[in-house]
Amino acid sequence: MVNYKELGLVNTRDMFARAIKGGYAIPAFNFNNMEQLQAIIMAAAETKSPVILQVSKGARAYANQTLLRYMAEGAVGYAKELGWEKPEIVLHLDHGDSFETCKSCIDMGFSSVMIDGSHLPYDENVALTKKVVEYAHAHDVTVEGELGVLAGVEDEVSSDHHTYTEPEEVVDFTTKTGCDSLAISIGTSHGAYKFTPAQCTRNAQGILIPPPLAFDVLEGVEKELPGFPIVLHGSSSVPQEEVDMINKYGGNLPDAIGIPEEELRKAAKSAVCKINIDSDSRLAMTAAIRKALAENPGEFDPRKYLTPARESMKKLYIHKIVNVLGSAGKLAE
């Protein structure tokens, strides 16, 4: 077994407490490869922000669990090389689907795990989450549970409908399970197509305007669970400039739409202390690669198109940290 502390990682407990008190959110960026990881660490080091490295079950299978363990340790060392004296980096399992998956991640050095039993009947969700919490807490690993279902598709997680979180259930759920944070559903969605055109309106330029998030649900949860760490999944904004670039250079992403950043800023000032972002970096990477290859069709050195992709993602991450989540300069004293 590998303990995350041996890798230089931290769990989410302290950073979430500071985020709630300070009215900002910790960035939780998903990664699948080295370039994404480099960009995340460069952005976090430059902005002096705590950061959560998220790995889905699919990403873990893609990258290999042994390599991930060393990538996480390497990320801490890289952060120090960049001048980050005491890195605050979490390695988190996103959408763990079973006790066995969560246990395996904990045993391989993850410092935080999510167990997603939201698709199960309520009592089964409680029982599964409690089982994961008991194992995780024995190793000082923090656990994120989930109530409510998000629509959309991302990796192996998919649903064709929203089920908003019921505020009256949250006290019972967190008390019975002992989870450290709770992902809720207030209208965010997974993937680059978070809403259908029928769910949106169009402005004078023909751009889709998504429906507002259900802040009444969030406020209800905060009332029932004051000061408890809340998480938002499916919170990519799907930058239109990246979508336009992908489409310009041969892509096909019609009517891709995300969560407006002003809504995320509002959420970050509440008890929402962790906001998950995945699709935005995928779009930034894909757009930069398509552009580089279109402009240099004879290029076959991956470094030549992955370098601009990495820089594009770094720029995106810095923007999210500074202008949306508000976590810049929020490292532990």
* pLDDT tens, position by position, 309-332: 999 999 999 999 999 999 999 999
Residues near 74 by beta carbon (within 8 Å), at least 6 away in sequence: none
Mean pLDDT confidence for 127-144: 98
In a domain? residue 18: yes
In a domain? residue 276: yes
Of 130-134, 141-145, 168-172, where does mean pLDDT reach its minimum? 168-172
Of 43-47, 100-104, 236-240, 310-314, where does mean pLDDT reach its minimum? 236-240
CATH of the domain at 275: 3.20.20.70
Reduced 3-state DSSP string for 62-125: HHCHHHHHHHHHHHHHHHHHCCCCCCCEEEEEEEECCHHHHHHHHHECCCEEEECCCCCCHHHH
Q: What is the pLDDT of residues 63-96, one digit of tens each?
A: 999 999 999 999 999 999 999 999 999 999 999 9
Interatomic CA distance for residues 72 and 65, integer angstroms = 11
Is the model's pTM score more than 0.85? Answer: yes
pLDDT of residue 85: 94
Q: Look up the domain containing 23 and give its range.
A: 4-325
Q: What is the pLDDT of residues 149-179, one digit of tens each?
A: 655 444 444 444 557 788 889 999 999 999 9
Domains of the chain: total: 1
In a domain? residue 153: yes
Catalytic residue set: 94
In a domain? residue 213: yes
pLDDT of residue 159: 42
Q: What is the pLDDT of residues 254-276, one digit of tens each?
A: 888 788 899 999 999 988 999 99
In a domain? residue 331: no
